[in-house]
Structure 1
Amino acid sequence: MHPHTEPADAAPRPQDPQEPALRASGLVKRYGDGPAAVTAVAGVDLAFARGGFTAVMGPSGSGKSTLMHLLAGLDTPTAGRVTVEGHDLAALGDRELTAFRRERIGFVFQAFNLLPALTAEENVLLPLRLSGRRPDRALFDEVVGSLGLGDRLGHRPGQLSGGQQQRVAVARALLTRPAVVFADEPTGALDVATGRELLGHLRQACDRLGRTVVMVTHDPVAATYADRAVLMSDGALHGTLDAPTADGVVAAMARAEGVR
């Protein structure tokens, strides 16, 4: 892919190119106090390389969604810290964190989260408009073209299929050139064929655009699109699979269930 000029108002890149896009250090999330306290995330250490695709998996209640919310700055850890491109999220005030999430983190949710009154193009451009940044038209054209949305830009979400709506959400997540794209069960509301197509687009976001993708999923086949699968059980890491296969994920998930 051709390099694009970084907007002047984007967060500065760290000096060390070896710095991971995302790092969790000693991450703990506990709800409540005393004997009734529940530990949802129990001391997680993880690094996510730039341009990598990681699937976070585990049984229901394993802490995978809580972990994603902590990594994305949507929730605050009880202990430990999260750094995105070297920026410690805990060091940011509420307003700074909101701006940082909008500009440096992309989100793709199961429910699409598009604004129904806006066209597809307006939904894609919304995060840039909110942060007062001008879109890079070359990047816009590349992202929209690769997602096959060129003839759908004037349509509102209600006029689009579920797969088209999710592709709009992916385009919106990519256009700010985020440090990390978080995808929370992104295929959950899609049929199998459309879901696989969507996963291919997330894979392309890594391979063609150099984005870092972190996907929470319960689907072993979805995990095969990732470079690695990270398994969780009872809030703790329970192993990592590089170049995961569906069979390998199923077996590892069964072992994770066994330790519960």
Structure 2
Amino acid sequence: MKRARVAYMGSVHDAYEKDGELRLDDGRIVFQHEVVWLPPIIPKTIFALGLNYADHAKELDFKAPSEPLVFLKGPNTLIGHRGQTRRPADVTFMHYECELVAVIGKRARNVETKDAYEYVEGYTIANDYAIRNYLENYYRPNLRVKNRDTCTPIGPWLVDAADVEDPMNLILRTYVNGKLTQEGSTKDMIFSIPYLIEYLSSFMTLNPGDIILTGTPKGAVDTKVGDEVVTEIEGIGRLVNTIVDEDEAH
């Protein structure tokens, strides 16, 4: 099942897709353009991976890491499908990052790789923009790179784990104004989703609602005010986002 959270007629609803239609939790069928899309989950801890694709690391002139490069993000960063991302006026390079997101469904501590999928509730898409001007070190992005308001669109759907046959073999694509600019596969992750769950749960407890952004392949290019950026992942959906000037955003 594909589930979502939307605002409609002044109320927030859980929703789901059935037969190509968007259905609210009260049974009403609405058009997708009539709702305001919210992040499909209200996350607890937000983990994000740096340099988890070797081709992206090479693109940035870095060697592939020997252990996961994990950083944390604040909930202020998240916006929903068809949301607006503010581009700071002083930046010269702000690029998208199409990422598969794993959503934890139950408490996890000292989980082994072979059992890790049992702890995943589902999957969604994130577009985790990075502002290179503020980057101090590709291995440890500072707060201004990865914790900007509105700079992580997520959604539109949370797809049940049971409906994703192999999350480690999905095609990722990004389009800027309709032009394909990024294409890769989750099979090229350096550290797989099961490995990441084992790694994180080996020293801390993962809880329901925690999410893991698993990194992006090569192909990141600068985006400008007015650009429409579509990040899509096979079987998960298409996440649409628009870049706006920070002084014009609402």
Superposed pair shares fold, TM > 0.5? no
* Greater C-alpha radius of gyration: 1
- TM-score calculated relative to the size of structure 2: 0.24
- TM-score calculated relative to the size of structure 1: 0.24
Q: Which has the higher strand share?
A: 2
Q: Which has the higher helix share?
A: 1
